[in-house]
Amino acid sequence: MIRSLISLAAVTAVLGCGGGGGVVGEAVRPSAATAGEALDEPSSVQACGSGFSEPLVVDMKSNERSDLEVAMKDGVAVVAYDCKVLKVLKGCSALGGYTFAGVTRKEDVVRMSGRDELEANLPLAGASLGASMKRGSTLDLALVTIGKQRATASEITQADLNGSCEGATHVVRGTYVGAFALSTGTEGELRAVAQIFSVGAKGGSKVDKSTSAKDGDLEACRQATADATSPPLECRSLTRLELLPLVAEKSESKQPSEEEAKERTCPPGSNWDGLKCAFGKPSVPACKRYGPAAACRAACDAGNGESCLNLTLYPETAPGPDGVVKEPPRDIAKADMALLDKSCTLGFAEGCSIAQLKANIDKQPAKARAYVAKACNLGDSYACLTIARWYDPNGPEVPDTVKSLDKTYEYIKRACDLGHGLACNALGVMHRDGSGAKRDGALAIAAFERQCAGGRYLDGQGCLAIASMYAKGQGVAVDQSKALGYYERACDLRNAIACNEGALMIRSTDPGRARAMLERGCAKGAAGWDACLQLGEAYETGGLGLQKDFAMAAEVYLRSCAKGACGKAGDLYSKGGPNLAKNPEKARESYKQGCTRAGDAQSCDKLEALLLKAKDKAELLAFYDSRCGLDVKACIKLKKAGGTPNEQSMKFYTTEAQRNCQEKKDGAACKLWKELGGEPTAAELKQPSAAKSPDKKP
């Protein structure tokens, strides 16, 4: 890590302790405070809950920064954080890694006033610095952001962590990369980023010598571009962390369609103002979604882009009787484009993405392209993936966009680098298959690995892709051990295909482990077709070390129902067996499920036989009626039984039968046409039958 002027070890000496901080320490330390000036009141900062946070780390000691950098090389770093304390947990990690992606350069000044703000925003050294501040003084931080290091971590539980992880609260999903300069200031004196960076550079006034720390070069940062794949040598300091809280359990929700802004967690009594946790009345607070419109308007007018978006897309909504706001569905078509444009202009990426959607609705493709490009440059991975789809030769036509595999690859890779799991999957496919990218097994696995480490159930696709490559020797040497490991990782993320494939691999050598994988693949939340079939057959036959248990076999079959599983359950209920008494009603219901839910022809035939045997005309008519739209024979039987077949279905079947009879000379079709009320000739009825005669709708 480059430390161009002052090492971060010196920063800590400055911010921390009363002893000799050297020349830099003496320069930054405020002059002795009088009794009336001293901030000698005790800190009121309280610990916060475990929510999404973006703490500054410019005050990290060199050894702490080294711990973080090592942790980020070993996997996804894990920390303990409560708004007062930030601790990197050495020896604890989650699966995954980080890649760099450039973003549109952003320059900000973060002004911290008072002991509470210092402690809340500089969790490593803010408390000790705040104790030495005097009234009327501030600590001004100039931040330049030119990129992010991002992992794909989205939903990580305690069980996903590896190593000694006691006290873990968050994973480091990403870091902000750039440069910073830190100096003392006074209230009422506002300074720009360049002024703070230039303090002390050439000597000069007493104020000029108040620089406490600087890491990186402003001019080097200003040469960076949003499409860079690595930061400039003098602009690669870690300035902020993006902390994602551990979750108790993974959600069932699908990946959202666009990047969603997360509400930052601050200590009680403070609010996130867009740059820091501010106490008292923040200068530019971000209003809450569905919160008071007046607050959103004021914040938007003051320059907070997120509030402009919230004002138009998430309008003020009164809470219900239970005190909970029932969020109404958002209506992008009715959103105010002027507010969306302002949100985007103020650098809020989600505002740009929503403005793009609104422009498309308003049939303004040129504006839509401009907005989505800006969102992508601001680091919105979803926007980058949208652009990739526009360039995709296999995608729909987009006005004024020339299809290009190279551009598709460029934006898919950028979206992956910014942490979008599905984009990483697409990137892996391109490298695996050589479609639009260099065929390279190692690059494919690296991309799939990033998705695999995301933690969402959907991310099991990436683990499965790697397992298949190792199992088949696709771009890599065959390695059954690695394949099984990735099948298990995918299976843990409820990928039922992986559970089934992994179990097939080891069912003869390790039946207990195979059974455990099938149980995960056939769990109620997954219910994979093949996994349930394998597990059901094991219970039915006494395989995989199980005792025969028809009751469990039937239950497992019914979970998936597909591929004849419900029919198998019906057979078990019909005959009974170990731990299962005969149950005609459950047999009939199982066949019904197989017929209606899974479209299994054998289940339909067995259900029909039971209904005919029971002589239940009403049920039989209902059965034929439900099948008429799918099976011509059901329509014919419905008519013969006294029912009225659907007119459109009958017309379709009759027309098709007549065409196949007369044009294709199919004798079977001629006979069917006659059953449907047609009048084929005797010669047509004598024609040979084709191998297959269509008697079902396509």
Same domain, 356 and 217: no
Same domain, 68 and 162: yes
pLDDT at 300: 93
680-685-687 Cα angle (round to 5): 125
pLDDT at 72: 96
Kindly state whether residue 549 falls inside one of the protein's structural domains: no
The mean pLDDT value for 624-634 works out to 93
Residues 280/370, Cβ–Cβ less than 8 Å = no
How many other CB atoms are there within 10 angstroms of residue 374's CB atom?
22
Is the CA virtual torsion 453, 454, 460, 465 positive or negative? negative
Residues 150/98, Cβ–Cβ less than 8 Å = yes
Same domain, 290 and 260: no
CA 242 to chain centroid, in Å, comes to 15
Token output for 462: 């990436």
Cβ neighbours of residue 138 closer than 8 Å, sequence gap 6 or more:
111, 112, 113, 184, 185, 186, 187
Same domain, 243 and 355: no
Kindly state whether residue 203 falls inside one of the protein's structural domains: yes
Residue 323 has pLDDT above 60, yes or no: yes
Same domain, 299 and 167: no
CA dist 427 and 423 (Å) reads 6
Kindly state whether residue 633 falls inside one of the protein's structural domains: no
Secondary structure letter of residue 546 according to DSSP: P
Same domain, 344 and 330: yes
Residues 355/342, Cβ–Cβ less than 8 Å = no
Secondary structure letter of residue 579 according to DSSP: T
Which of 138, 212, 137 minimizes the C-alpha distance to 182? 212
Same domain, 102 and 214: yes
CA dist 635 and 172 (Å) reads 61
Residue 9 has pLDDT above 60, yes or no: no
Residue 17 has pLDDT above 70, yes or no: no
The tally of CA atoms less than 13 A away on the side-chain side of residue 613 is 8
Name the one residue in this structure whose structure tokens are 């036989």. Answer: 609
For the stretch 632-687, pLDDT in tens is 999 999 999 999 999 999 999 999 999 999 999 999 999 999 999 999 999 999 99
For the stretch 183-202, pLDDT in tens is 888 877 888 999 999 864 54
Kindly state whether residue 156 falls inside one of the protein's structural domains: yes
**269 or 647, which is more confident?**
647
Residue 387 exposed, middle or buried by CB count within 10 Å (0-12, 13-18, 19+): buried
Residue 30 has pLDDT above 50, yes or no: no
Q: How confident is the model at residue 33 (pLDDT cuts 50, 70, 90)?
A: very low
Same domain, 97 and 175: yes
Kindly state whether residue 476 falls inside one of the protein's structural domains: no
For the stretch 116-143, pLDDT in tens is 888 888 877 655 665 556 667 888 999 9
Residue type, 297: R
Same domain, 302 and 233: no
Percent of the chain beyond pLDDT 70?
A: 86
Kindly state whether residue 411 falls inside one of the protein's structural domains: no
pLDDT at 8: 32
Spell 281-315 as b/e; 16+ CB within 10 A means b.
ebebbbbbbbbeeebbebbbeeebbbbbbbbbbbb
CA dist 35 and 40 (Å) reads 9
226-416-342 Cα angle (round to 5): 50
pLDDT at 571: 97
One DSSP character per residue, 129-167 reads: HHHH-BTTEEEEEEEEEEEEEE-------GGG-EE--TT
pLDDT at 310: 93
Residue type, 416: C
Same domain, 187 and 132: yes
Which of 237, 244, 273, 278 minimizes the C-alpha distance to 149? 237
Residue 5 exposed, middle or buried by CB count within 10 Å (0-12, 13-18, 19+): middle
For the stretch 36-78, pLDDT in tens is 333 445 566 888 888 999 999 998 888 888 999 999 999 999 9
Cα separations in angstroms, 152 against 86, 250, 459: 22, 15, 9
Same domain, 91 and 200: yes
Supply the pTM of this predicted model: 0.79
- 338 is in which domain, residue-wise? 284-378
Is the CA virtual torsion 160, 161, 167, 173 positive or negative? negative
Q: Which of 299-303, 409-413, 561-565 has the highest mean pLDDT?
A: 409-413
End position of a domain, from candidates 359, 378, 397: 378
Maximal CA-CA distance, the chain:
117
Same domain, 221 and 296: no
Element (DSSP H or E) covering residue 31 = none
Kindly state whether residue 236 falls inside one of the protein's structural domains: yes
Residues 396/402, Cβ–Cβ less than 8 Å = no
Cβ neighbours of residue 33 closer than 8 Å, sequence gap 6 or more:
39, 133, 134, 135
Kindly state whether residue 450 falls inside one of the protein's structural domains: no
Spell 413-435 as b/e; 16+ CB within 10 A means b.
bbbbbbbbbbbbbbbbbbbbeee
* Number of domains composing the chain: 2
The mean pLDDT value for 609-634 works out to 92
Residue 254 exposed, middle or buried by CB count within 10 Å (0-12, 13-18, 19+): exposed
CA dist 197 and 211 (Å) reads 8
